[in-house]
Amino acid sequence: MSAKIIDGKAFAADVRARVAAHVARLKEENGITPGLAVVLVGEDPASEVYVRSKGKQTVEVGMNSYEHKLDADTSEADLLALIDTLNNDPAVHGILVQLPLPGHLDSDLVINSINPAKDVDGFHISNVGLLGTGQKSMVPCTPLGCLMMLRDHHGSLSGMNAVVIGRSNIVGKPMAQLLLGDSCTVTIAHSRTKDIADVVRGADIVVAAVGRPEMVPGDWIKPGATVIDVGINRLPPAAEGGKARLVGDCHYDSCAEVAGAITPVPGGVGPMTIACLLANTLTACCRAHGLAEPEGLTA
């Protein structure tokens, strides 16, 4: 079998178009423009690239983008004061503090100081608890993007066996909660899991989010299964003078031979993260104003 390729780039473009259409309606009918504030502390080059991309896409869908760049040695008190200002600013519907933060800042404390209703990352402990108990919450962007692609491909996920490889707070755990919410039978596998190959072989859906290049080979995949590869790993060039290669957590060629559907790297899950951040900002804005939430853009 040769797997259907799930095109995350095209899917993300469609999500952004739907967000943009809803934003245009909000402006015209309600005089409201959603606003997203992104806070970056320090000069981590990868974070700067992400933040620039977020700002650009926010403006492209018609929202207001507020960027706050703080020095690497910003004190916790100053950062908390900025978050307090954003929490109380009615023009700001979503707040994202780019991670990782410099070591002297307590990430949990900072994230938990964001108003949960504006926590478009879904990292606040209240949102984690709401998701875990099946209540309306803000949902972390990458798992939300994976869920949208899975629902689009399968329709209903009810009764399917799903294995999530990786137990991070940002992807693995919320992904498992979302799949459970869609009535999958969910297993979380991780570095200590015994007989992981056999565990994965039982899965109709595999979500790999471990950050280990090409860890999942094709012979772990049940024929016809859907493989969602969250990993983005940079490998050094194969030959001198060559280009660095981006690979996922799954060995693409061998998995694609067996799977029914697979997300490529790059161009799979990656583009969905920012698209879902925009969707979450729109959702937060609609909730803040007591308006109907966008359809198909929430969990």
Whose structure tokens read 């790993």? 233
What SS3 string covers 14-44?
Answer: HHHHHHHHHHHHHHHHHCCCCEEEEEEECCC
Residues 252-291, one symbol each (x = binds ligand GUN by CB under 6 A, - = not), give ---------------------x------------------
Active site residue 27: no
Three-state secondary-structure class, residue 67: strand
**Whose Cβ is closer to ligand GUN: residue 215's or residue 274's?**
274
Tell me if 188 sits within 8 A of 174, measured CB to CB: no
Residues 102-121 that bind ligand GUN (CB under 6 A): 121
Active site residue 98: yes
Query: What distance in Å separates the CA atoms of residue 190 and residue 168, rounded to the nearest whole number?
Result: 10
Q: Which stretch binds ligand GUN (CB under 6 A): 29-37, 90-98, 199-207, 237-245?
A: 90-98
Residues 135-164, one symbol each (x = binds ligand GUN by CB under 6 A, - = not), give ------x-----------------------
Single-letter code of the amino acid located at 107 = S
How many residues bind to ligand GUN according to rule CB under 6 A?
A: 7
Of these residues, 57, 118, 119, 121, which one is catalytic? 121
Contacts for 28 with CB less than 8 Å, ≥ 6 apart:
none
Contacts for 262 with CB less than 8 Å, ≥ 6 apart:
3, 4, 5, 6, 226, 227, 229, 250, 252, 255, 256, 268
**Whose Cβ is closer to ligand GUN: residue 176's or residue 221's?**
176
- Based on the shown chain and the rule CB under 6 A, indicate whether residue 79 belongs to the binding site for ligand GUN: no
- Based on the shown chain and the rule CB under 6 A, indicate whether residue 98 belongs to the binding site for ligand GUN: yes
Answer for which of 96, 188, 261, 279 binds ligand GUN (CB under 6 A) is 96
Contacts for 55 with CB less than 8 Å, ≥ 6 apart:
38, 65, 67
**Whose Cβ is closer to ligand GUN: residue 113's or residue 203's?**
113
Whose structure tokens read 């990352």? 121
Nearest distance from C-beta of residue 236 to ligand GUN, angstroms: 22
In 10 A of CB 220, how many CB atoms? 25
Active site residue 195: no
Of these residues, 54, 118, 173, 222, which one is catalytic? 54
End-to-end alpha-carbon separation of the chain, Å? 31
**Whose Cβ is closer to ligand GUN: residue 140's or residue 260's?**
140
- Based on the shown chain and the rule CB under 6 A, indicate whether residue 99 belongs to the binding site for ligand GUN: yes
Nearest distance from C-beta of residue 224 to ligand GUN, angstroms: 31
Angle, CA 202 vertex, CA 196 and CA 203 arms, to 5°: 95
Q: Which stretch binds ligand GUN (CB under 6 A): 7-15, 94-102, 155-163, 203-211?
A: 94-102
- Based on the shown chain and the rule CB under 6 A, indicate whether residue 97 belongs to the binding site for ligand GUN: yes
- Based on the shown chain and the rule CB under 6 A, indicate whether residue 214 belongs to the binding site for ligand GUN: no
Q: What residue ranges bind ligand GUN (CB under 6 A)?
A: 96-99, 121, 141, 273
